[in-house]
Amino acid sequence: MAKKKTINKDFLISLYSTMIKIRKFEEEGTKLYRQGHIRGYFHPYWGQEAIASGILSAMNKDDYVTSTHRGHGHCLAWGADLVRMFSELLGREDGYCKGLGGSMHIADYTKNNLGANGIVGSCVPIAVGAALGIKIRDENKVVTTFVSDGGCNIGSFLEGLNLASAWKLPVLFVIENNQYAVSTPIESSTGETDLFKRGLSFGIEGIRINGNDVLEVYETANKYIDYCGKNSYPYIIECLTFRKSGHHINDPGTYLPEDKVNFYRNNDPLNIGKKHLTKLAGLSDEEINNIEQETDKVIEEALKVALDKPEMEAKDFLRLVDEY
C-alpha cells in the first residue's frame, strides 16, 4: 500500500540520492565490464533513474516488485545492498544469487523483490500471481511490475493485464516507455504507441507521465498505488523516457536519432531532480555536490569490498547438481 510521505527536504534528497546511486553504480559497472571483470549481459538502467526512484519510494517494503532485464535500478531503489549487487555482477558468492544469476537475474526473495528476468514480459504474469496470493490471503499489499515498450507486445503482458482485471488484483503496471526495444523504435512495432491504452480494452485505466521527472513519478505512483490497494484493482502508469546509451554495454546505439538523444540529454532525470532540490528544497550547489561525493564514496567502498569477495568453489557448485 502507498506510503504517506510529505514532500519535504529530506524526502526530496532521498529521491535524488537514489537516482545518483543508480547512475554511479552503472558508471562503475561499466568500468568493470570494460576491464573484463564483468561478463555476459549488462543492460544499464541510466536515463531511467527517476522511474525506479519515484515509483518504488511510494511502495511499502512488504509490497512486491518484479523487474526486467534492465533491472539494476529497480533493485537499488528497492534498497538493495551495494556490496551484494556488485558481488552478483562480478559472479561472487556473496552476491544476491551467489554469482549464479548475474546482472539479468538479480533478485531478493527475502525482501519481496521477485527479480530481474531474462525473458521479456515473463515477469508480468508472475506479478499477477503474487497479487493473487495477496488477495487470497486477504492482505493489504500491492505488486508493481515493470515492463518496457517492447514488452508491451508480448502475450505474457497482455494476458497478465486481462488476468489482473478479471480477478480484480492490486497490480500496478509500470511501463518504462524508452521508445526502443534494442534497435527497434516503438512506431515500427505497434499501431498504438500510447501504451497506457493497452489496458483500456481490459477495463484498466492508465496515464502517461514524464518518466524523467522523479517528483511527477512519485506523486503519480503514490496516488495509484493507493488506488490499486484500496480498490483491489490494476492500474497502468506509462512513464515516457529514453535510454542514456545503447541497449547493452556493447551496443553503441548508433541507430538512436540525434534529436531524441539531445532532447533527453537536456532532460536528464538527474538534472530535473537537481532542479527540485534547488527550487523546492532550497539546497545550494555545494550541498548537492556533497550528496554526490558522499554517494561516490559509498559506491567506491562497496566496490572495493565486493572485488575481494570469493567465488563459489567448484566442489560446492557440483554438489548442487544432485539437487536437480
Partner 1 sequence: MSDTRELLYREALNEALIEEMTNDETVFIMGEGIAERGGSYKVTVDLLEKFGPKRVIDTPIAENGFTGAGVGAALTGMRPIVEILFIDFSMLVLDQIVNQAAKFRFMSGNTARVPLVLRTQGGVGNGLAAQHSQSLEAIFYHIPGLKVVMPSDPYDAKGLLKSAIHCDDPVIFIEHKLLYMNKGMVPDKDYVIPFGEASVKREGEDLTIIAWSAMVPKALKAAEILKEEGISAEVVDPRTLVPLDKSTIIESVRKTEHVLIVQEAIRRGGVASDISSIIQEEAFDYLDSPIAILAGKNIPCPFNLNLEKLVVPQVEDIVKAARKSAYK
Q: Which is nearer to partner 1, 35 or 266 (CB)?
A: 35
Q: x/- contact string, 19-58, with partner 1 (CB under 8 A)? A: --------------------xxx-----------------
User: How many other CB atoms sit within 10 Å of the CB of residue 189?
Assistant: 14
CA–CA distance, 1 with 33 (Å, rounded to integer): 38
H helix or E strand, kind and range, residue 194: none
Instruction: Round to whole Å and give the CA distance between 46 and 271.
Output: 13
* 212 binding ligand TPP? (CB under 6 A): no
Using CB under 5 A as the binding rule, whether residue 68 contacts Mg ion is answered as no
**Site for ligand TPP contains 247 (CB under 6 A):** yes
Among 148, 212, 220, 241, binds Mg ion (CB under 5 A): 148
Residues 6+ apart with CB under 8 A from 235: 172, 173, 199, 204, 205, 206, 224, 227, 228
The one segment of 49-57, 58-66, 175-183, 276-284 that binds ligand TPP by CB under 6 A: 175-183
Q: How far apart are CA 254 and CA 257, in angstroms?
A: 8
d(CA 106, CA 117): 8
**180 touches ligand TPP (CB under 6 A):** yes
Alpha-carbon span 147 to 122, nearest angstrom? 10
Residues 286-315 that bind partner 1 (CB under 8 A): 311-312, 314
DSSP 203: T
Minimum distance from CB of 50 to partner 1 (Å)? Answer: 24
Residues binding partner 1: number (CB under 8 A): 38
Residues whose CB is less than 8 angstroms from the CB of residue 151 and which lie 6 or more positions away in sequence, other chains included: 68, 120, 121, 124, 157, 181
Q: Check residue 67 for interaction with ligand TPP (CB under 6 A).
A: no
Q: Is 258 in the site for partner 1 (CB under 8 A)?
A: no
Asked if 103 is part of the footprint of ligand TPP (rule: CB under 6 A), the reply reads: no
Binding site for partner 1 (CB under 8 A): 39-41, 91-92, 97, 99-102, 104-105, 117-121, 150-151, 153-155, 181-184, 188-190, 255, 311-312, 314, 317-318, 320-321, 324
Binding site for ligand TPP (CB under 6 A): 68-70, 118-120, 148-151, 178, 180-182, 247
